[in-house]
Amino acid sequence: DTGVSQDPRHKITKRGQNVTFRCDPISEHNRLYWYRQTLGQGPEFLTYFQNEAQLEKSRLLSDRFSAERPKGSFSTLEIQRTEQGDSAMYLCARTEGQGAGELFFGEGSRLTVL
């Protein structure tokens, strides 16, 4: 158990619909990261939070992607007007303490856009 829960595990949606993924880390007030992983590739960084502050979002893939972490606990990643190219695994990860060191990943939320 990595202390990161993600929901839903699988999401199938039609192109143009909005989707939201949720991440619950075991502990609050640490760093929380969102990564995307396409088939056969390694994870690709999207954005991260320190408590409720989003410290890096320039690497979100487009303005259709947004993330929040109200109150520094759980986080959500929303994709608006989904496209087929958004089909991927969306991974949430945490680090211990103030952020240095290994990433503890959740099981991921797999998105399929038809």
Partner 1 sequence: GESVGLHLPTLSVQEGDNSIINCAYSNSASDYFIWYKQESGKGPQFIIDIRSNMDKRQGQRVTVLLNKTVKHLSLQIAATQPGDSAVYFCAETRDNYGQNFVFGPGTRLSVLP
Query: In the complex, which residues of this chain contact partner 1 (CB under 8 A)?
Result: 2, 4, 31, 33, 40-45, 48, 55-56, 59, 91, 93, 95, 99-108, 110
Q: Please, what is the minimum distance in Å from the beta carbon of residue 31 to partner 1?
A: 6
Q: Considering the complex, state which of residue 40 and residue 70 has its C-beta at the smaller distance from partner 1.
A: 40
Q: Considering the complex, state which of residue 54 and residue 80 has its C-beta at the smaller distance from partner 1.
A: 54
Rounded CA separation 46/90 (Å): 10
Q: Quick check: 8 and 110 in contact, CB under 8 A?
A: no
Burial of 21 from C-beta contacts in 10 A (0-12 / 13-18 / 19+)? buried
Q: Please, what is the minimum distance in Å from the beta carbon of residue 81 to partner 1?
A: 26
Q: Quick check: 101 and 3 in contact, CB under 8 A?
A: no
Q: Considering the complex, state which of residue 60 and residue 79 has its C-beta at the smaller distance from partner 1.
A: 60
Q: Considering the complex, state which of residue 70 and residue 101 has its C-beta at the smaller distance from partner 1.
A: 101
